[in-house]
Structure 1
Amino acid sequence: MKKNENSKDVYDAVADPTRRHILHLLAKVEEMPLYELTSHFQMGRTAVSKHLSILKHAGLVTSRKVGRETRFRLNAEPLQEIQDWVTYYTKFWNDNISLLNQLLQEEQNMPTVSLDFHFNRPIERVWLALTDPKKLAKWVMENDFKPIVGHKFQFRTEPNPVWDGIVHSEVLVVDQPNKLFYTWETAGESTTVTWTLKEMDGTTHLHLEQIGFENEGHAYHGAKQGWTLMAKKLDQVLAEL
């Protein structure tokens, strides 16, 4: 029989919980007769014998005659291939989890613009100001925004000697009226902007989080100051709604 066929037999043999329990029982003793094995299951000797035949075919169990009874013994060697297979994927996941932890640590160390604003307005009105392109233009910039996941759009304003005045964005999450999440790429910085809204006692609490800045340089401080100034304009826009 070919090696890959033997491997298939081993995997098939241990796929059944009854056969796994037989291996577990045999692992505790040097050998065990059929009648004693059968006493551990709610099935007859014939059914247990069929399971033992499959295990013997896979090379996981050997047997010998002692007088009129047959005694069975565990042969764990074929299980080494399964152990090797599991070990390979354990290493795969451990390596990837380590990489994920490294990325998360790097993200945590990145500067984050985190600001909170409070408006004595209904949450639906604040959501409208965040998602209606005409309202957005009054407090952020001219835009072609649509509250549709996957929609790519731009914020645009007058350029200056150090900036072309364009922000490239894509909508990633729309959870009306609780969360809005989109990319914000401009001036060599690739960041994301998340708006989280909560209404309590007639006041809408608006949290802004912009992450992805490489350092606390001009772009970071510009964003922090810019959003603070734009929030004041947002308050005026909400008053007009």
Structure 2
Amino acid sequence: MTDEKDVYAAVADPTRRQLLDLLAEVDELPLYELTSRFDMGRTAVSKHLAILKEAGLVDSRKVGRETRYRLNAKPLKEIQDWVSFYEKFWMDRLSRLQILLEEQKMTADVILDFTYSSTVAEVWNALTDSDMLAQWIWDNNFKAEEGYQFRFQSEPNEYWDGIVTGEVLVVDEPNQLAYTWASAGETTTITWTLTKVAEGTQLHFEQTGFSEETKATPGAIAGATYAWTEFGNKLASLLA
């Protein structure tokens, strides 16, 4: 395969993209005719064509003393296939989130609202910066990157190993952050929504997806509510 970096660099320039568009409409064109379509000299157009040729996007042949050029679209198709692979990757993740939300019927098991005098940007940083998170939740390796798998570590006890793992689902800076939250065989979804208000920032918290067994366990949802309320209060102290 042609070097992808070369192809990306070649098509990054608008003049070279226009050359490709012109060649895509015909079998081939001579240099003088291509030059006539631009407000630049023959030498400058030749340099652009040389870059496209080096990237494998253009072929040339001599006809008498004139050089004629034609499009070779194969490298573009290879790049399209490469991009399509990652497009499917992200579509799969969005589909997983959609299914998760539908299964949970969009009904949050824990809903909390906090108001902080800090700016939205400051609150967002506290939600996404690993060092900041360690100060109001637990030690972690969190990164605000969709698809990133992270880990939080609390003090273990006789009932729990203290480990929470998750995967970042949505990063809409600085408006919304969502990720899975898995521990002790239970996987839920955490969603933070930030809104600018007169007092500073309103932070809306939702935790969804608790199993029916957990919901039926006395004190389970109340315990989660208490824990996240305490985290939110620690965040307030940190921001202050």
Secondary structure (helix, strand or coil) at the match of 1:185 reads strand
Secondary structure (helix, strand or coil) at the match of 1:108 reads coil
Q: Which residue of 2 aligns with 1:221?
A: 222
- CA 1:182 to 1:109, structure 2 compared with 1: closer, same or farther past 3 Å? closer
- CA 1:152 to 1:203, structure 2 compared with 1: closer, same or farther past 3 Å? same
Alignment check: 8 A CA contact 2:136 2:231 kept: yes
The reply to whether residue 167 of structure 1 matches residue 168 of structure 2 is no
Q: CA deviation at 1:197?
A: 0.2
CA distance in 1, matches of 2:106, 2:192: 21
Q: Which moved more, 1:199-208 or 1:124-133?
A: 199-208
Q: Which whole-Å deviations, capped at 9, do the CAs of 1:66-108 have from their partners, x for residues lacking one?
A: xxxxxxxxxxxxxxxxxxxxxxxxxxxxxxxxxx99x94x623
The reply to whether residue 199 of structure 1 matches residue 196 of structure 2 is yes
Q: Which residue of 2 aligns with 1:230?
A: 231
Q: CA deviation at 1:169?
A: 0.5
Secondary structure (helix, strand or coil) at the match of 2:105 reads helix
CA distance in 1, matches of 2:230, 2:165: 21
Q: CA deviation at 1:110?
A: 6.4
Question: Once superposed, what is the RMSD of the aligned Cα atoms?
Answer: 2.1
Q: Which residue of 2 aligns with 1:80?
A: none
Q: CA deviation at 1:111?
A: 6.0
Aligned pairs for 1:50-61 (under 5 A) are none
CA distance in 2, matches of 1:111, 1:173: 17
- CA 1:110 to 1:202, structure 2 compared with 1: closer, same or farther past 3 Å? closer
Alignment-mate amino acid for residue 204 of structure 2? H
The reply to whether residue 181 of structure 1 matches residue 178 of structure 2 is yes
- CA 1:201 to 1:157, structure 2 compared with 1: closer, same or farther past 3 Å? same
- CA 1:128 to 1:109, structure 2 compared with 1: closer, same or farther past 3 Å? closer
Alignment check: 8 A CA contact 1:213 1:219 kept: no
Q: CA deviation at 1:201?
A: 1.9
Larger Rg: 1
- CA 1:181 to 1:202, structure 2 compared with 1: closer, same or farther past 3 Å? same
CA distance in 2, matches of 1:187, 1:165: 9
CA distance in 1, matches of 2:113, 2:168: 21
Q: CA deviation at 1:220?
A: 2.3
Q: Which residue of 2 aligns with 1:156?
A: 153
Q: Which residue of 2 aligns with 1:134?
A: 131
- CA 1:231 to 1:109, structure 2 compared with 1: closer, same or farther past 3 Å? closer
- CA 1:181 to 1:122, structure 2 compared with 1: closer, same or farther past 3 Å? same
Secondary structure (helix, strand or coil) at the match of 2:196 reads strand
Q: CA deviation at 1:213?
A: 0.6
CA distance in 2, matches of 1:196, 1:140: 18
- CA 1:123 to 1:177, structure 2 compared with 1: closer, same or farther past 3 Å? same
Alignment check: 8 A CA contact 1:195 1:207 kept: yes
Structure 2 unaligned residues grouped into runs of 5+: 1-97
CA distance in 2, matches of 1:114, 1:196: 11
Aligned pairs for 1:1-241 (under 5 A) are 104=102, 107-108=104-105, 112-215=109-212, 216=215, 217=217, 218-239=219-240
Q: Which whole-Å deviations, capped at 9, do the CAs of 1:136-186 have from their partners, x for residues lacking one?
A: 001111100001111101110110111110001110110110000000000
CA distance in 2, matches of 1:219, 1:167: 17
Alignment-mate amino acid for residue 205 of structure 1? Q
Alignment check: 8 A CA contact 1:122 1:202 kept: no
Identity rate, percent: 48
TM-score w.r.t. length of structure 2? 0.54
Q: How many residue pairs were aligned? A: 138
- After the TM superposition, list the runs of 4 or more consecutive aligned residues in structure 1 that deviate by more than 6 angstroms: none
